[in-house]
Structure 1
């Protein structure tokens, strides 16, 4: 669960699910409220945990893209189930 802790990692994962390949600037625009520093930090942690792959295109101007690794993509069904569970929370739940 350490791999998914933090405010932004799940949001980043949802943007990369389904085989999406996004540039850093596209991720930054897609996630309102995240700072550039935080996005870089989260992506680096996810890359070191082998969930996200960083693709560097050696060109001018430099181009860096991010996508999920196969292992990261394997999280999709589990997180989709968690999202479905959260959406279907009963209204009469005494826990609130």
Structure 2
């Protein structure tokens, strides 16, 4: 039988247990960044390939420059996205997924595939 995780994230052994339902759990912030309007799309696009900023913005159609920058900053802070500044003239930045980001993005891509297949099936 599965052991219940306390609501406050405290397991009684002086160790915190990740519990996305607890208000102050750091995993909640990461899930919020992933599940935000642009987070899932950015991660799914980066699952296809590494992108420079403007190429990623074109791939994620409809996202503003400001929102994409904020989304990428949050995903980078959470350890999902790697920002690689290349010292060329002019310098440019390329975004890619970390190993953690790859695992999360794989799941997102599966979810997107499920949704798209269902939408396609219901159009017939």
One fold, TM greater than 0.5?
yes
The runs of 5 or more residues in structure 2 that have no matched partner are: 1-30
Partner of 2:73: 44
Residue 36 of structure 1 and its aligned partner are, at CA, apart by 0.5
Partner of 1:7: 37
The counterpart of 1:30, out of the listed 52, 55, 59, is: 59
Give the unaligned 5+ runs of structure 1: 92-96
Q: Tell me the distance in 1 between the aligned counterparts of 2:98 and 2:83.
A: 9
Task: Give the number of equivalent residue pairs.
Answer: 90
Distance 1:32 1:52, change over 3 A: same
Structure 1 CA distance for aligned equivalents of residues 40 and 47 of structure 2: 10
TM-score by length of 1: 0.80
User: Shift of residue 14 of structure 1?
Assistant: 1.1
Give the secondary-structure state (helix, strand or coil) at the position aligned to 2:66: helix
* Aligned structure 1 segments of 4 or more residues deviating by more than 4 angstroms: none
Cα deviations by residue, 1:22-46 (Å, 9 ceiling, x for unpaired)? 1001101112211111010000000
* Cα RMSD after superposing both structures: 1.8
Once residues 77 and 50 of structure 2 are traced to their aligned partners in structure 1, the CA distance between those partners, rounded to angstroms, is 18
Larger Rg: 2
Show the counterpart of 2:87. Answer: 58
| 2:95 aligned counterpart, secondary structure | strand
